[in-house]
Amino acid sequence: MIALFVDKIRFFDTTLRDGEQTPGVSLKPSQKVEIATMLAELGVSTIEAGSAAASEGEREALRLIAGAGLSAEIATFVRALPLDIDYAADCGADCVHLVVPVSDLHIGAKLRKSREQVCEMAWNAVEYAKERGLVVELSGEDASRADPDYLAGLFRGGVERGADRLCFCDTVGILTPEQVASVIPGLLFAPLSIHCHDDLGMAMTNTLAALKAGASAAHVTVNGLGERAGNTPIEELVMALEVLYGVQTGIRTDGLYHVATAVSKMTGVPLPLNKAIVGEMAFTHESGIHAHGVLRNASTYEPIRPEQVGRTRRILLGKHSGTASVQAALHELGYVCDEGQIAEIVARVKAIGDEGRRVTDADLMAVADSVLDLVREPVITLKQVTVVSGSNVIPTASVTLTVNGGEVTCAATGNGPVDAAIEALRRAVAGAGDIRLEDYQVDAITGGTDALVDVTVCLSKDGRMLTSRGARTDIIMGSVEAMVSGMNRLLEERG
């Protein structure tokens, strides 16, 4: 059990501010409202909705979030400037995250002011924010490189003038847990937050060390988004506290994966495959020994149940797969096989894996059909696909399929030629079933402009999910091939 100085840890989520400062990320006000709503539903205490002084779009987002009736406190980033504070108050914020540079490097090189001038700016801003009726979290930027005595003095002066909370910022991620244990206890004359960056991979460790040393709140972002190497990821911190330290965080953990994937899609920042908690492979097994153990008792190779974070376990098939995992996958797909047939299917699965290929559900079904001598007439057959794309042209695709013996032609537009082709295929089979694209991955198998690409799609219909693949030198046709293969399998009668 971690020794805490407070009854409950506060989570100050800065996905919509520090997270949006990830290079290339820009969220619309409507997206910010959607993310803020999900964070409030998770149980986050404070949501930093952006920087009100940055743009009119930021102010619109803040107004919308502040007016959404969310359970969380709504904060905004401000500098020690009256105009910033006015923007925050006028847009309906509950709290200002008042950030003041405190290291001599930042004071001299960035502000070109003296220590005394920075103190006056900070204290005046605190007083003004309190006059405007705002909760104030006074934050020391680059605190890890500041003179500890100067930082403590600035913080004390801020509290004397009405600051409600303080925040220690490891702005460039250079703290160590030992330094955290040394510096945090001397700043506990007001509720203290810790804000860590992950430049040297220490954000999680330093955040935990700060909470153990007496900090009462942690600044976090979804998926660890943030400038450069990012910030402390909420999903990892919450589960580390819950599982390793026995802390009841008050966060609805079964919503973590949904929020992580939604934020990933909206920001365009993909989740690393091996990311803890929310990465694709976090609860995925292929090795025969591991898969066999997990199928018998999940705790053999999983420290937490996937359902705790809103996920399900996956068994991937490949050259490392054993009989148990192949048998489980066949059962899920509705196949009944004897021992000899299973042995042959396992051998063929390993052979596919030895070729360097991932074995999709459609691959396994094709192997099983062959071994069991099952002949299936395809539900759909592709007759033609035409795609138009280029500068000043909306990507458009038309497809002609035979669906259950009848010919269907459909057209659709999309964000790109692949998106248009996939949407046209979905529309063409809509009469036979509502098939959704849940995931899309593409890898280049060979190099060069004529590279062979391997497209893998995950499709769903009526709660059933299935993966399939296509490999072509043409990414559009590879995608179409994967879609048609998967749709055929989903539309077949099971059993």
CATH tag, 10-267: 3.20.20.70
Position 368 scores a pLDDT of 82
pLDDT at 290: 41
Sequence-distant (≥ 6) Cβ neighbours of residue 227 within 8 angstroms: 18, 21, 22, 23, 197
User: What percent of the chain is helix, strand and coil (3-state, nearest 5)?
Assistant: 45, 20, 35
Structure tokens at 483: 């879609």
Give the pTM. Answer: 0.76
The tens-digit pLDDT sequence of the chain (495 residues) is: 455 555 689 999 999 999 999 988 999 999 999 999 999 999 999 999 999 999 999 999 999 999 999 999 999 999 999 999 999 999 999 999 999 999 999 999 888 999 999 999 999 999 999 999 999 999 999 999 999 999 999 999 999 999 999 999 999 999 999 999 999 999 999 999 999 999 999 999 999 999 999 999 999 999 999 999 999 999 999 999 999 999 999 999 999 999 999 999 899 998 888 898 888 767 665 544 444 444 455 565 566 777 888 876 666 677 777 777 787 777 777 788 888 888 888 888 888 778 777 777 778 887 888 787 777 788 889 999 999 998 888 999 999 999 888 899 999 999 899 999 999 999 999 888 889 888 888 876 556 656 677 788 888 888 778 888 887 888 898 899 889 988 988 887 654
The DSSP output letter for 74 is E
Query: What is the model's pLDDT at position 293?
Result: 47
Written as one string, the DSSP assignment of 346-399 is HHHHHHHHHTT--B-HHHHHHHHHHHTT-----SEEEEEEEEEEETTEEEEEEE
C-alpha 54 chain-centroid distance: 25
Distance CA 233, CA 235 (A): 6
Tokens read off for 421: 């082709």
Phi, psi of 137 (to 5 degrees): -110, 105
The helices-and-strands tally (H runs, E runs) of the chain is 16, 16
Residue limits of CATH 3.30.160.270 in the chain:
380-491
Quote the distance between the C-alpha of residue 160 and its chain's center.
39
Q: Which CATH number fits domain 284-371: 1.10.10, 3.40.50, 1.20.5, 1.10.238?
A: 1.10.238
Rounded Cα–Cα distance for residues 48 and 11 (Å):
11
Any bridge partners for residue 11, and if so which? 218
For CATH 3.20.20.70, the residue range(s) in the chain are 10-267
Angle CA 340–349–288, to nearest 5: 85
- Phi and psi for 10 in degrees, rounded to 5? -90, 140
Among the listed residues 376, 415, 417, 381, the one whose alpha carbon sits nearest the alpha carbon of residue 398: 417
Write down the CATH number for the domain with range 380-491.
3.30.160.270
Burial code (b: 16+ CB inside 10 Å, e: under 16) for 103-118 equals beebbeeeeeeebeeb
* Residue 379: count of CB within 10 angstroms of its CB: 21
| Residue of 213, 152, 96, 256 lying closest to 194 (CA atoms) | 213
The angle at the Cα of 289, spanning 284 to 290, to the nearest 5 degrees, equals 25
d(CA 151, CA 393): 57
In contact, 195 and 231? CB cutoff 8 Å: yes
